């Protein structure tokens, strides 16, 4: 089998269904793994509750997409094979992808508040195309409210950065 005949065979096959089937298998394995963790503890949700719920929701979406392809909005097959992606949509996708990486790495380097401030500003400014003032206002409100609710009121151990260290010094003297 040469390359051209292989490419033709793959393009004729419904690759999206194979990928969706692989995702369904991975989510079933993730749900099985999450069942081995504590779902509930003495003080609230355990380490396995969120992974189990996430895996079950993703598994349900994958199964629905496989078995109900004719339902609008559930099919992974493109409606028009010649359609192009709008550059604005591509930019939005790239900004969200970049911010996902930034949140993962930035939490350890900058702490919770600074990372949420920066990523929220980037998302609002470049993905959602809001003004600088509106983006900054929303980012400050979200990061400070997240810090107050989770760190101060609920006592969740958030990644420590310069902002958290200054507030801790002010509170603890």
Q: What are the structural domain ranges in the chain?
A: 1-82, 84-173
pLDDT for the residue 133: 95
The secondary structure of 60-115, three-state, reads HHHHHHHHCCCCCCCCCCCCCCCCCCCHHHHHHHHHHHHHHHHHHHHHHHCCHHHH
131 pLDDT exceeds 60? yes
62 pLDDT exceeds 90? no
Name, in order, each residue with C-beta under 8 angstroms of 150's C-beta and a sequence gap of 6 or more: 112, 156, 158
For 3, 4, 85, 130, the CA distances from 81, given in Å and listed in that order, are: 21, 19, 11, 32
Per-residue pLDDT tens digits for 147-168: 888 888 888 788 888 888 888 8
Three-state DSSP class for residue 48: coil
Please measure the distance between the N-terminal and C-terminal CA atoms of the chain and give it in whole angstroms: 73
Per-residue pLDDT tens digits for 15-47: 667 777 888 888 899 889 888 888 877 777 777
Q: What pTM did the predictor assign?
A: 0.56
Mean pLDDT of the 60-69 span:
78
Three-state DSSP class for residue 130: coil
Mean pLDDT of the 120-140 span:
94
pLDDT for the residue 5: 54
pLDDT for the residue 72: 57
For residue 81 the two structure tokens come to: 């094979």
CA distance 172 to 160: 15
Query: Which comes out higher in pLDDT, residue 40 or 83?
Result: 40
């Amino acid at each position: 089998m040469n390359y051209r005949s292989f490419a033709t065979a793959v393009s004729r096959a419904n690759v999206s269904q194979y990928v969706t089937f692989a995702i369904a298998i991975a989510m079933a394995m993730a749900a099985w793994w999450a069942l081995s963790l504590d779902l509930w503890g003495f003080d609230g949700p355990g380490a396995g509750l969120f992974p189990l719920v996430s895996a079950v929701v993703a598994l349900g979406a994958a199964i629905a997409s496989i078995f109900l392809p004719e339902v609008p909005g559930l099919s992974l097959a493109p409606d028009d094979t010649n359609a192009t992606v709008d550059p604005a949509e591509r930019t939005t996708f790239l900004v969200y992808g970049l911010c996902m990486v930034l949140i993962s790495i930035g939490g350890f380097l900058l702490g919770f508040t600074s990372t949420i401030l920066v990523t929220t500003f980037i998302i609002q400014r470049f993905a959602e195309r809001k003004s600088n003032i509106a983006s900054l206002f929303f980012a400050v409100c979200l990061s400070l409210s997240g810090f107050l609710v989770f760190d101060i009121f609920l006592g969740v151990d958030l990644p420590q950065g310069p902002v958290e260290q200054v507030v801790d010094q002010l509170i603890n003297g």
